[in-house]
Chain A
C-alpha cells in the first residue's frame, strides 16, 4: 500500500537546495536538483547522524554540514570516506505544485 505524505509547496525549496522534513518520528531531507526535479532521502547522515538539510547541495551531491560526507541524493549512494553507508531514498511526486513523498505505511 502506498503512503503519500504532503511535504510543502514546490516553491518553498530553491533549485539546487535542500530542506528538512519531519514526519511520524522520522526526519527526511527533500531536495530540488538544478533542473528543478524533487528527490527525498533519509534526513540524517549515515556517519554521525547529523541533519543533512544544513549541508550544501551542488549538482547531484549533498555534502554533510559536519564531516563532509558526500552522497548522491538521487540514488542515496555514499561517495566515499568518511561515509560508506548509503542513504535511504524515497519516491516523490508533485501534484498541484505540492511535493509529496512516499513513506513506509
Chain B
C-alpha cells in the first residue's frame, strides 16, 4: 500500500516539501493543508512590490496545473485542528480524520502582538495593522493613501521594508524603535548605517531609544512617548517580530524550545513527525548552536531535507543561512551566523556599497552582511557563502582589499583543498 504524507502549511516550506516528495517518489499520497484561502503564494513581495504595484497580485509558489500534474492533494481553507501522534492521525477543520505515515509541520510564524495593545483589548482595532499574509497586505494597501501619517513600531526588516514602501507611496512615516539603532540584532552597524541614511534621505522619521508610554486608538492614533511630544497618526503598524505557530505541536506533546525542536534531519521528538521553516528550532553544527530563523531560503532547504528523510533518506541540514532585504534602491544580503567572532573587517567599495565580514580564530568566515544598490553585492555574498560552506581558511588581507576580487579567495581555497 502506498504511504500517505501529510504537510501542514503551504508556505515556502510546505510547497517545497510536497515537490521534493513527489520528485523522489511517484507513488506516495501527498496531502497539503493550508488554513488560508487560495493557492500557495510568496510572502517576501508583501512588504515590497505587492504594496507598490498598481494592482495587487499574489505571486504563486505553485500553480493549480502543477499541483494537479504532481498529484498533490491541496486543501486550502482547511486546517488541522488536532494532531494525534499516538494514532498518527490529523483531525481536520472539516470534521474528518486522516491517517498519515509521515507528517511535516510547516505552520510558520505569526506576527508578535504589542502587549500594551493586548492589555487594552485593542488587538483587533481597525487602525491597527501587522503584516504576515496577503490579506494583511491588502488591508494595508487599502489604507495607504498619500499624505496620511503612519506610525510603525519596530525597526526590524518588515518594519523597515514597509517604511520604504509606504514612503515611496507618499505617506508620512514615523518608525519607533526601542534599541539604540535599527536592525540591532540582525545586521552589523556599518551596514545598518547605510540603510538608516537611506531612510533619513527619503524623509522617514526613525526614533531610536524610544519608549512607548501609552497608545490610544480611536478615530486617530495617539502615541505617548517617554520624554517626547505626543505623536498623532492615521494608523499604526506593529512589526516587532514573529512567534512560531506551535499550537498543534504543543498539544501533541512534541518537544518545544523557541519553536518546535528538531534534529539536523528536521525530525521532531516524534519519529514520524518533522518540522521545517519558521516554526522549527534547528541545530547548526557548524556554529555549535540551535536557532530558529525566519528565512525564505532556509525554509525551502529545510523542507527539502525533511522530505528526503520522510522518504527514508539520511539527509542533514548544514547550509549557512542566507537572507535578503530590499529597501528603496538598496539590496541587503546576509549569510551565516555571528557566533563568537574574533576578527571583524569591512570591505568598503563606496559610501553605499559595503561588505562586513566576521571570522573565527582559525580565520574561517562565520558570516557576512553586505549592502549596495540593486543586486550589486550578490556576487560577493555568494562567494562568501561558498567559503563558509567549504570551511575555507581565508587570507584576511585579500578579504579587506577592494582591489582584489573576492572570487580569487575561492580559487585559492580550491587550490589548497
Chain A residues at the B interface, C-beta cutoff of 8 Å: 16, 48, 50-51, 54-56, 58, 63, 65-68, 81-82
Chain B min CB distance to A66 (Å): 6
Taken together as a complex, chains A and B put the C-alpha atoms of A65 and B385 apart, in Å, by 12
Chain B min CB distance to A11 (Å): 16
Out of A54, A67, A81, name the residue touching B374 (CB < 8 Å).
A54
Taken together as a complex, chains A and B put the C-alpha atoms of A81 and B378 apart, in Å, by 19
Tally of chain B residues near chain A (CB < 8 A): 17
Out of A16, A58, A66, A82, name the residue touching B378 (CB < 8 Å).
A66
Report whether A56 and B19 are in contact in the complex, using a CB–CB cutoff of 8 Å: no
Give chain A residues whose Cβ lies under 8 Å from the Cβ of B379: 54-56, 65
A81-B297 CB under 8 A given contacts A54-B375, A54-B379, A65-B375: no
Chain B min CB distance to A14 (Å): 8
21 contacts between A and B (CB under 8 A): A48-B59, A51-B374, A51-B375, A54-B375, A54-B376, A54-B378, A55-B378, A55-B379, A55-B382, A56-B379, A56-B382, A63-B382, A65-B378, A65-B379, A65-B382, A66-B375, A66-B378, A67-B296, A67-B297, A68-B297, A81-B19
Report whether A81 and B375 are in contact in the complex, using a CB–CB cutoff of 8 Å: no
Taken together as a complex, chains A and B put the C-alpha atoms of A50 and B374 apart, in Å, by 10
Interface string of B396-408 (1 = CB under 8 A from A): 0000000000010
Taken together as a complex, chains A and B put the C-alpha atoms of A55 and B376 apart, in Å, by 9
Report whether A50 and B375 are in contact in the complex, using a CB–CB cutoff of 8 Å: yes
The residue of chain B having its C-beta at the shortest distance from the C-beta of A52 within the complex is B375
Taken together as a complex, chains A and B put the C-alpha atoms of A48 and B48 apart, in Å, by 14
Chain A min CB distance to B211 (Å): 37
Residues of A contacting B: mostly: loop
Q: Which 7 A-B pairs have the closest CB atoms?
A: A65-B378, A65-B375, A54-B375, A56-B382, A56-B379, A54-B378, A63-B382
Chain A min CB distance to B175 (Å): 26
Give chain A residues whose Cβ lies under 8 Å from the Cβ of B378: 54-56, 65-66
Give chain A residues whose Cβ lies under 8 Å from the Cβ of B16: 81
Out of A51, A54, A55, A82, name the residue touching B300 (CB < 8 Å).
A82
Taken together as a complex, chains A and B put the C-alpha atoms of A67 and B12 apart, in Å, by 12
Chain B min CB distance to A58 (Å): 8
A81-B300 CB under 8 A given contacts A55-B382, A56-B382, A56-B383: yes
Chain A min CB distance to B371 (Å): 14
B324 within 8 A of A: yes
* Chain B, 283-303, CB within 8 A of any chain A CB: 296-297, 300
Chain B min CB distance to A51 (Å): 7
Taken together as a complex, chains A and B put the C-alpha atoms of A90 and B322 apart, in Å, by 32
The residue of chain A having its C-beta at the shortest distance from the C-beta of B12 within the complex is A82
Chain B min CB distance to A36 (Å): 16
The residue of chain B having its C-beta at the shortest distance from the C-beta of A53 within the complex is B375
Task: Name which of B19, B297, B322, B375 has the most chain A CB atoms within 10 A of its CB.
Answer: B375
Taken together as a complex, chains A and B put the C-alpha atoms of A63 and B333 apart, in Å, by 15
Give chain A residues whose Cβ lies under 8 Å from the Cβ of B376: 54
Give chain B residues whose Cβ lies under 8 Å from the Cβ of A16: 407
Give chain A residues whose Cβ lies under 8 Å from the Cβ of B324: 66
The residue of chain B having its C-beta at the shortest distance from the C-beta of A84 within the complex is B66
Give chain A residues whose Cβ lies under 8 Å from the Cβ of B19: 81
Taken together as a complex, chains A and B put the C-alpha atoms of A65 and B382 apart, in Å, by 8
Give chain B residues whose Cβ lies under 8 Å from the Cβ of A65: 375, 378-379, 382
Give chain A residues whose Cβ lies under 8 Å from the Cβ of B296: 67
Chain B min CB distance to A67 (Å): 7
The residue of chain B having its C-beta at the shortest distance from the C-beta of A63 within the complex is B382
Give chain B residues whose Cβ lies under 8 Å from the Cβ of A56: 378-379, 382-383, 407
Give chain A residues whose Cβ lies under 8 Å from the Cβ of B383: 56
Give chain B residues whose Cβ lies under 8 Å from the Cβ of A48: 59
Give chain B residues whose Cβ lies under 8 Å from the Cβ of A55: 375, 378-379, 382
